[in-house]
Amino acid sequence: MASFASFVEISRYNLIPLSVTSLCGCPCRLLSNQTLIPTRRTPKLKLNVVFHGPQSVFRVRPTSIYVNRRLITAVARAEPESIDESNAEEEVDQGAILPTTKDSFSELQHKSSQLRKRIVFGLGIGISVGGAVLAGGWVFTVALAAAVFLGAREYFELVRSRGITAGMTPPPRYVSRVCSVICAFMPILTLYFGNIDISVTSAAFVVATALLMQRGNPRFAQLSSTMFGLFYCGYLPCFWVKLRCGLAAPALNTRIGAGWPFLLGGQAHWTVGLVATLISFSSIIAADTYAFLGGKAIGKTPLTNISPKKTWEGAIVGLGGCIATSVVLSKILSWPASLVSAIAFGFLNFFGSVFGDLTESMIKRDAGVKDSGSLIPGHGGILDRVDSYIFTGALAYSFVKILLPLYGV
């Protein structure tokens, strides 16, 4: 019991019988439960109640007139009524440990549930994307357009979030919605016309005009964030359409194409664009997977302040996994022909993957959010899943269209 002191002064002539136990407010057992009853009337009486340490002493002192010789001093030892100290400590410890154990178990269950959702939805997304890539044409383009629309919506919501708007003026909501629709049409226009430059330029001009003619005071931050949204969410994903559907030269050396069913397009269905897209997608998945596992196992050195969880060790492991996947698939699909080209293609895919991932992390950090959305259970938003693919499509298309022909591959 903590040490404290109290003072009670009784200034009446008649002292009312007072039980010692009534003065003690703590749960203790008194060795003597006597009553203080002076036999004479006293003009003034002071009663000091002193609590100090494990003992409590009650003393009655007269001031000017003698009191009865039988001055009773009750000494009470503060002892728990029926609780042993060791048992009390054990109960306290258990009371402190049980909630922590319960919280840890709940957290473990939550992580296990999130992991199951992540695996289930990840497999579903992978199978769906693989089917769309194999189908090509309008199936692949429409699926990409839907992903672009959802990603654009998430991007403009991030721009309008409190973290970013603290330092800038976001574009009006109607402009954001119009830009999301424009971004969704860009892949379709790319497939139909085979070129996207004129469409992007026209869309940028219309959006810039709408921003400049709006009521109030137009801000440059509105124009810059909107133009970057058109470039980031609309223009860059269109290179996947140009890669998958634009490079229609048949991959004659691919053994899988020789046994491909005639009803599904036969050997002509396996084009350079299809093979390059499959290798690029697979390399990106391998880069993300190996980087995550490597970072968990041996990651110690932070890669950048933009994303503190990413490490140099994880990046090196991811690079190795990405290049290995590119080389293995190049042997299976017989494209590209040389080992150097396969290694260079894997390195390029890894670089585009990391750059896209860090760019999206920077946007989320400025927005002050962990995920771009909650569309995919266990994964976050659509941008959280496709950030590694945004810049990679342009790099892969440039590599196949420009670099490989220069070296005769």
Tens digit of each residue's pLDDT (9 = 90 or more) over 113-140? 777 777 887 788 889 999 999 999 999 9
H helices of 260-381, in order, are: 272-298, 312-333, 339-367
Q: Is the pTM of this model over 0.85?
A: no
Average pLDDT over residues 76-98: 45
Using the predicted structure, report yes or no on whether residue 261 has a pLDDT greater than 70: yes
Q: Check residues 43 and 273 and name the one with the higher pLDDT.
A: 273
Query: If pLDDT is split at 50, 70 and 90, which confidence band does 53 have?
Result: very low
Q: Residue 46 above 60 pLDDT?
A: no
Percent of the chain scored above 90 by pLDDT?
43
- How would you class 207 by CB atoms within 10 Å of its CB: exposed for 0-12, middle for 13-18, buried for 19 or more? buried
Taking each continuous run of H as one helix and of E as one strand, the counts in the chain are 14, 6
- 131: how many CB neighbours lie within 10 A of its CB? 12
- For the chain, the C-alpha Rg in angstroms (whole number) is 39
Q: Report yes or no: 395 and 349 within 8 Å, Cβ to Cβ.
A: yes
Query: Domain extents for the chain?
Result: 4-84, 113-406
What is the predicted pLDDT for the residue at 102? 59
Of 100-104, 265-269, 315-319, 383-387, the least confident: 100-104
